[in-house]
Amino acid sequence: MTNKLHFEIQDRTPFADGHVFGDSGAYERLRGWVHYTIDPNAPAQTGIADLDKAPVNADGLVEFSAEILILRPADPDKGNKRIFYDYGNRGNFRAVQYYNDATHSNDPKSLDHAGNGYLFRRGYTIVWSAWQGDLLPGDGRVVMKLPVATDNGEPITGKVRQEFIPVTPALSFPLSGRVGTRSHPTTSLDTAKASLTKRRYPASERIAIAASDWRFAIALSGTGVSGETATRGAGENSIMPSSEFIYLDDGFQPGWIYELVYEARDPLVMGLGHVAVRDLISFLKYEKTDAKGAPSPVGAIEKAYGWGRSQTGRCLRDFLYLGYNADAAARKVFDGAMPHVAGAGRMWLNHRFANAVSMAGQQYEDHYILADQFPFAYAECTDHLTGETDAILKRPDTDPYVMHTQSASEYWQRRGSLAHTDTRGGDLPQPDKVRLYLWSSSQHASDPKASAPVKGICQNYNNVVSTSMIFRALLDAMDAWVTDGAPPPDSRIPTRKDGTIATYEEWCAQFPNIPGQMPSTGPAGLPLVDHDLDPETGAIGKQPPEIVDADGYAVLIPAVDSDGNDVAGIRAPMVRAPLGTYTGWNTRSQGYGTGANYEFSGSYIPFMEATEEQNFISDPRASVLARYPTPDAYVEAIVAAAEQMVAEGLMLAEDIESVRAGAQDWGRPRHIVRL
Average of pLDDT values for 386-401? 97
In this structure, the chain runs to a length of 675
Please tell me the predicted confidence (pLDDT) of residue 357: 87
Q: How confident is the model over 466-493, as pLDDT tens digits?
A: 999 999 999 999 999 999 999 999 999 9
- The Cα-based distances of 3 to 61, 399, 543 in angstroms read 9, 21, 36
**Structural domain includes residue 59:** no
Predicted confidence (pLDDT) at residue 431 exceeds the cutoff of 50: yes
Regarding pTM above 0.75, the answer is yes
Residues spanned by the domain of 222:
157-265
**Structural domain includes residue 8:** no
**Structural domain includes residue 486:** no
Confidence of residue 550 (pLDDT cuts 50, 70, 90): low
Predicted confidence (pLDDT) at residue 97 exceeds the cutoff of 60: yes
**Structural domain includes residue 497:** no
Which range, of 71-75, 368-372, 482-486, 664-668, averages the lowest pLDDT?
368-372
Structural domains in the chain (count): 1
The residue among 590, 607, 602, 618 whose CA lies nearest residue 671 is: 607
∠ at Cα 528 (173, 358), nearest 5°?
25
**Structural domain includes residue 418:** no
- For 659, list phi and psi in degrees, rounded to 5: -65, -40
Q: How confident is the model over 220-277, as pLDDT tens digits?
A: 988 778 777 777 777 888 999 999 999 999 999 998 999 999 999 999 999 999 999 9
Longest dimension (CA), the chain: 81
**Structural domain includes residue 228:** yes
**Structural domain includes residue 161:** yes
Q: How confident is the model over 163-182, as pLDDT tens digits?
A: 999 999 999 999 999 999 99
Q: Which amino acid, one-letter code, is at 307?
A: W
Average of pLDDT values for 80-87? 97
Q: How confident is the model over 329-367, as pLDDT tens digits?
A: 999 999 999 999 999 999 989 999 999 988 788 999 999
Please tell me the predicted confidence (pLDDT) of residue 1: 44
Residue 258 parent element (H or E)? strand 257-265
Please give the distance of CA 464 from its chain centroid, rounded to a whole number: 19
Please tell me the predicted confidence (pLDDT) of residue 87: 93
- The Cα-based distances of 176 to 20, 127, 262, 305 in angstroms read 43, 28, 12, 31
**Structural domain includes residue 459:** no
Burial class (CB in 10 A: 0-12, 13-18, 19+), 77: exposed
